[in-house]
Amino acid sequence: MALALGAGVVGVVAAPATATDSNHAAYWQTLEGESCEKPSFSTENSAVNPYTLPEPDDGWEWSKVVIKAGSSSAGELVNGSYVYDSGLAAGATFVHPVKDSISHVIVCQVPSDEPEQPPVDPEGCVLVAWKMPGWVNSTTPTWPQAYFTHVGTDTCEPSELSKLDDQLLETCDAYYQVDLYDVSATTTSLLNGKVLTGPGQPAEDFPSPSGWNLTYKLVKSPDCLDEDAAASVVVTPASCGVAGTAEFTIVNATWNSAAATTAGTHERTATANDGHTFPGGETTKTVSYTIEAALTTNQPPCAPPAPTFTDSVCIGGTGDDTTGTFTLAALDGITYTAKIGSASYVTVAAGVAHEVPSPDGTTEVTIKAYRGSTLVGEWSHSFSEPNEECYTEVTPIEPAISQAVCTGTPGEVSTAGYTLTAVTGVNYFVKVNGGSWTAATTGSLQVLSPGDEFEIKAVGDWAAGYYITTPGETAKFYGPYTIADPDCGVEIVVGDPVFWSDLCDEINGGVLEQSFEVVAVDHVTYSVSVNGADSTPIAAGIHSAAPGDYVVVTAHPEDGYVLSGTTSWDHAFQTDGFCPPTLGLVTPTVVAQQMTCDADGSYTLGNEEGTPDAILWSVDGGATFTGGGTFTVSTPGAVTITAMPADGAGFAGEDELPYTWNLAFEQPSVCGDLPTLALTGGTIATGSLGLAATMFFAGGLLMFARRRPVTQP
């Protein structure tokens, strides 16, 4: 199986064939040059506190991590051990895949391909520690040995052999040979090889003299102990007539003394058995415990505490009072009876409040408590109504009103409002502009706005036992008051700031020109609304208006100023038809010539008054044009001509517009016949065969446009 833990996917490697020494680090040294250690680590919850792999030794790399959680029948390797051989980067975390706990951890490392070589003083020697696979005795090395570490020494004296002892003894279940070598090529080659398979294999370069405890020695680190010893105590509390007890539990350890069983606080110490320690590596553990003396049968909790009696009290501000009550403690095995007044004893429940009315002023209550049939408590209490009136008369103080007045600065009004004086037992409320009553503040001016209307209400604090003294009243009202709204602005007379005009421009053909003027006045601004749209600000000066516009101009004073007189003006401007014609009355003429055997027909459009631009002509419903002229007709057929007066002109007479002529052009059937012109329709039409037909239209009043002002009605 495989697990993803920390650095990546890890796998299981096979363990040795037997589990005889699987708790010891050396048991797991199965690879060439491999060195295993047993760090001090255990946990009851590896999901929260997994084992975290540290950095390997210099020049080494991790080869396996063994997680042990005790013996198991779940199929784990070697008595509950679970082995990982990949994902072994420093910082990776590991748990036991079957159990929550971890009893101990064994980690193994092998020399890396390029171990760091610390500097060596060529004047001294090189002290090298080799890790052995097992231990026989202090003079018998075991093989093969794997390079562990080395340091340079200042001398080659035997005393240098102890230079690595502190580092080697930091671990447990590890065995080392320590050699002192000369600084030489042989020693460098030996260190790079990283493995000794036997004495002088490969070659070793010892300084002279050489021998045990001169140039080499063996070091055995402390044995690793399982942190699976435990010692604990569970105390049973005392009960009625029975003292408390203590129950002790011990695992892989031995108590140093017999347990104390008398009432009081005691200590008991345990020592871990050989090969075991308590969590944290401690070999002893002391537990403290307290045995309670038997509980006295007539004292709580064997007997109940006294009932809780709550006497009648005044209900503030009402002159009334509450009803007295008693409450009984709920305890296992305890029952109660009660005699209220002259009634007989009855069973009453615990844990609830029982009311005791006192209509005659005083009621006596007797309560008895029983454990089984044994009386364990008896109490009596007299309930009575209050002997004094349940309220205190109190008189509120009328509010002080601060009115708004002009300060002398244009538009500025003084701060206004009311001030309430605090009176013990009085609560004030205020209602502004017909709103809801809200709690009012005392002791400082409460600011209101000019024009605000308000009332003040004073109410006795019933909950505290106070009552308004006014006979028959539960509250006293003040007001209503109105904050003055003085006109503190400086008066400005706008007069007639707006002037209007409707002008007909005779020079430009009777075009309507319209405008209005806003006169500048200090501290006054203006806005305009055109044809009912929202008002927009405008500056003082002359502003144009379109024909038919309805304009409303309004003056606005700056803060601190007020306007006198008219402040808004409106005007409806004339439409385009307001201006009379400027080109006068004209008479359109149409003269037609019938087609002949040797010539085309024609028609001529003209104006008797000689003002060609005053007439708009149209032929057969086509686009209008001015100027008239003669037009040739080469194909027989009908031609319809219309005439309308141009802007600024008019036709004499009262005939309906437009004027219309219907002309019929025909090819002579026999050449030599007199030419014939057929004219049909027309408002007024004249003509004769062989002659041009001329039509005159006259009538109405000849008008001459003039430029004149039109004032506002």
Please report, for the domain that includes residue 568, its CATH number.
Answer: 2.60.40
Strand order in the sheet with 426-432: 438-439, 426-432, 453-460, 475-482
The H-or-E segment that residue 165 falls in is: helix 165-168
Sorted by sequence, the CB contacts under 8 Å of residue 9 that are 6+ apart come out as: 2, 3, 86, 87
Same domain, 50 and 106: yes
260 located within any domain: yes
SS (H, E, C) 636-694: CEEEEEEEEECCCEEECCCCCCCEEEEEEECCCCCCCCCCCCEEECCCCCCCECCECCC
pLDDT, residue 645, reads 85
Q: Which of 324, 292, 295 is nearest to 308 (CA)?
A: 324
**E-strand stretches of 531-608:** 536-538, 541-544, 550-557, 561-564, 568-572, 584-586, 588-593, 601-607
463 located within any domain: yes
SS (H, E, C) 428-488: EEEEECCCCCEECCCCCCEEECCCCEEEEEEEECHHHCEEECCCCCCEEEEEEEECCCCCC
Same domain, 166 and 264: no
Same domain, 253 and 199: no
694 located within any domain: no
519 located within any domain: yes
> How far, in Å, CA of 332 to CA of 337, rounded?
16
Of 546, 577, 608, the one marking the end of a domain is 577
Same domain, 259 and 183: no
Same domain, 377 and 399: no
Residue 538 carries which side chain, given as an amino acid letter? I
pLDDT, residue 431, reads 96
Q: Which of 665, 581, 679, 659 is nearest to 618 (CA)?
A: 659
CB atoms within 10 A of CB 300: 15
Same domain, 367 and 402: no
Of 482, 503, 528, the one marking the end of a domain is 482
Q: Which of 163, 155, 159, 161 is nearest to 183 (CA)?
A: 155
163 located within any domain: yes
**654 dihedral zone (left: phi>0; alpha: psi -120 to 50; beta):** alpha
Rounded average pLDDT per 10-residue block, the chain, 713 residues: 30 40 79 84 84 87 84 44 81 85 87 61 85 91 91 92 90 89 91 89 93 93 81 91 91 93 94 86 92 82 88 69 89 91 92 80 89 89 73 87 88 91 94 95 94 93 74 80 87 74 59 80 91 92 86 90 86 73 78 91 87 86 89 93 82 80 88 51 32 31 28 32
Sorted by sequence, the CB contacts under 8 Å of residue 693 that are 6+ apart come out as: 590, 591, 592, 677, 679, 685, 686, 687
690 located within any domain: no
* Contact call for residues 331 and 265 (beta carbons, < 8 A): no
* Contact call for residues 510 and 571 (beta carbons, < 8 A): no
Cα of 104 vs its chain's centroid, Å: 47
Same domain, 368 and 324: yes
Number of domains in the chain: 7
pLDDT, residue 250, reads 94
Same domain, 543 and 471: no
Same domain, 614 and 567: no
166 located within any domain: yes
**465 dihedral zone (left: phi>0; alpha: psi -120 to 50; beta):** left
In eight-state DSSP terms, residue 162 is G
Tokens found for residue 170 = 């930091």
Rounded to 5 degrees, what angle do the CA atoms 568, 570, 575 make?
165
Same domain, 105 and 15: yes
> How far, in Å, CA of 139 to CA of 142, rounded?
10
Rg, the chain, Cα only: 62
Of 384, 412, 437, the one marking the end of a domain is 384
Same domain, 191 and 242: no
The H-or-E segment that residue 186 falls in is: helix 185-193
Largest CA distance in the chain: 167
47 located within any domain: yes
- The residue behind tokens 């009332």 is 455
Domain that holds residue 321: 308-384
Tokens found for residue 223 = 């044995």
pLDDT, residue 112, reads 77
Same domain, 366 and 441: no
